[in-house]
């Protein structure tokens, strides 16, 4: 039996029925969103779900086709095990285009629901009118792109890499069009060419007085720019050394998994309506990530830290999730908060910032102002990379079907670092991929 009882954010259903629509809509219209479990009785008894794949697909199709405004990107449907039985878990975010309603019932009390206590109740005419009056109209979906001659070859490639295909209707399916059929600002951000650039700045010391390096990643699909930023930070997250009289310790400057989640969160939830992209800054003692827009309207700091998900740009969230850059809705903050606490966040009127401190006592080369020291650091980094690639080649020769994640665990680096090394090995004709990403294998070129 599950310990938790139904609350304002938790709903149990013993089996699937169309009644889940009103509960999902109730969560969409609430300020907190919620979790709906299929296969659990109201009293917490776990019954499980038969034909779970079929039921999961039915739920996804029902929620996709039966709710207005469009809610893809605001819910996540996946399976998990409870007490040895399979159940379905639906995570629902609070939406910013309230009121949401059952499309066949319209924006009426019969179609609009709100979570009150442990149940979803019909909204009154006055509530519906009030919510509609507050609806956010200046969303990226409704902003027409400055340019309409957009191409999406990069986006198509990323979908193909996930064994997904974008058909001729992809622009409408991914909500890249306004109601009158023009490319919107989401399309502009994801297009092969645009005017958005994300900067990664490095400074000598703990302030902005001496700029060491400035890299720009952009003027391309936001997906490509995001991956470039992640790759860059992976390179910057070099092994630092702490020497004591008894031992020598080595570790990376920051937690790679938590920082990846922060990068994705700050890019996906950035307010692009003022054309202000996120900024990444590396100092001698910390990494800072700053996004524009502050907290989403209607989301409190307490709710933010508790992991409540209220996507500012749900269309971007949906696409990032399609491409496995986002796992489950609302999971990112939980991963960040397990490593970095509330004190690492700064809330401003128009901006949100997270400071990632480097491990105390560990030195890095950012404070070495002489060129010789910088060159030595570069040489050490190059030597370290070469040794990592040699290890990868050795591992692949023994196990050609091994995954990047398993390689990372075996040699003690991040999976993104492994992917970067593999890319280098492919470019230098050291290895080649035979077959698809799934089911294929690596072949060493001699």
What residue ranges do the domains of the chain occupy? Answer: 10-134, 140-190, 198-357, 373-444
Query: Cα(first)–Cα(last) distance of the chain, in Å?
Result: 58
What string of pLDDT tens digits covers the 446 residues of the chain? 566 678 999 999 999 998 899 999 999 999 889 999 999 998 889 999 999 999 999 999 999 999 999 888 899 999 999 999 999 999 999 988 899 999 999 999 999 999 999 999 999 999 999 888 877 666 888 899 989 999 999 999 999 999 998 999 999 999 999 989 999 999 999 999 999 999 999 999 999 999 999 999 989 999 999 999 999 999 898 765 555 555 555 678 899 999 999 999 999 999 998 889 999 999 999 999 999 999 887 788 988 888 888 888 999 999 999 999 988 777 788 889 999 999 999 999 899 999 999 976 554 444 444 444 444 555 556 777 888 888 898 888 888 888 888 888 788 777 778 888 888 888 888 898 888 777 788 888 87
**What's the CATH fold of domain 373-444?**
Arc Repressor Mutant, subunit A (1.10.10)
Structure tokens at 384: 């370290």
Supply the CATH classification number for the domain 198-357: 3.30.565.60
**What is the per-residue pLDDT for 369?**
40
Select from 3.40.50.460, 1.10.645.10, 3.30.1510.10, 3.30.950.30 the CATH code of 10-134.
3.30.950.30
The CA-atom distances, in angstroms, between 183 and each of 82, 135, 161, 175, 311 are 44, 22, 24, 9, 21
**What is the per-residue pLDDT for 137?**
61
* Cβ proximity of 311 and 317 under 8 Å: yes
**What is the per-residue pLDDT for 127?**
93
Same fold, 198-357 and 373-444: no
**Helix, strand, coil percentages, rounded to 5, for the chain:** 35, 25, 40
CA distance 20 to 11: 9
**What is the per-residue pLDDT for 380?**
57
CA distance 263 to 290: 10
Structure tokens at 164: 């997904």
**What is the per-residue pLDDT for 374?**
46
pTM recorded for the entire structure = 0.71
CA distance 241 to 402: 30
* Cβ proximity of 279 and 289 under 8 Å: yes
Structure tokens at 362: 């560990």
């Amino acid at each position: 039996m599950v310990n938790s009882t139904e609350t304002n954010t938790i709903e149990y259903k013993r089996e699937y029925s169309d009644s889940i629509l009103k509960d999902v809509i109730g969560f969409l219209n609430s300020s907190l969103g919620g979790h709906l479990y299929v296969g659990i009785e109201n009293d917490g008894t776990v019954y499980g779900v038969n034909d779970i794949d079929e039921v999961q697909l039915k739920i996804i199709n029902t929620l996709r086709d039966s709710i207005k405004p469009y809610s893809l990107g605001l819910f996540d449907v996946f399976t998990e095990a409870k007490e040895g039985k399979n159940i379905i878990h639906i995570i629902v975010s609070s939406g910013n285009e309230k009121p949401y309603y059952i499309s066949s019932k319209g924006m009426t009390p019969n179609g609009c629901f709100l979570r009150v206590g442990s149940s979803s109740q019909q909204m009154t005419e006055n509530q519906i009118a009030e919510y509609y009056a507050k609806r956010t109209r200046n969303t990226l979906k409704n902003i027409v792109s400055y340019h309409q001659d957009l191409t999406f070859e990069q986006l198509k490639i990323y979908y193909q890499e996930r064994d997904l295909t974008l058909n001729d209707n992809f622009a409408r399916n991914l909500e890249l069009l306004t109601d009158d059929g023009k490319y919107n600002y989401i399309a502009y951000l994801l297009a092969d060419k645009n005017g958005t650039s994300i900067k990664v700045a490095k400074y000598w010391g703990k302030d902005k007085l001496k700029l060491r390096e400035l890299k720009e990643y952009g003027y391309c699909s936001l997906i490509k720019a995001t991956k470039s930023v992640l790759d860059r930070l992976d390179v910057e997250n070099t092994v630092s050394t702490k020497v004591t009289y008894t031992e020598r310790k080595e570790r990376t400057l920051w937690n790679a998994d938590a920082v990846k989640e922060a990068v994705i969160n700050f890019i996906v939830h950035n307010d692009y309506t003022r054309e202000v992209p996120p900024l990444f800054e590396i100092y001698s003692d910390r990494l800072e990530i700053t996004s524009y827009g502050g907290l989403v309207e209607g989301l409190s700091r307490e709710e933010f830290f508790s992991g409540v998900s209220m996507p500012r740009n749900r269309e971007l969230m949906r696409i990032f999730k399609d491409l496995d850059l986002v796992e489950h809705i609302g999971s990112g903050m939980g991963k960040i908060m397990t490593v970095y606490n509330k004190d690492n966040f700064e809330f401003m009127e128009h901006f949100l910032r997270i400071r990632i401190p480097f491990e105390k006592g560990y030195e890095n080369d950012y404070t070495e102002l002489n060129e010789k020291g910088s060159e030595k650091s570069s040489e050490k980094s190059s030597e370290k990379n070469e040794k990592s690639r040699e290890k990868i080649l050795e591992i692949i020769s023994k196990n050609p079907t091994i995954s990047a994640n398993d390689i990372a665990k075996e040699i003690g680096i991040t999976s993104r670092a492994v992917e970067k090394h593999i890319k280098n090995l492919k470019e230098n004709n050291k290895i080649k991929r035979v077959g698809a990403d799934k089911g294929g294998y690596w072949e060493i070129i001699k």
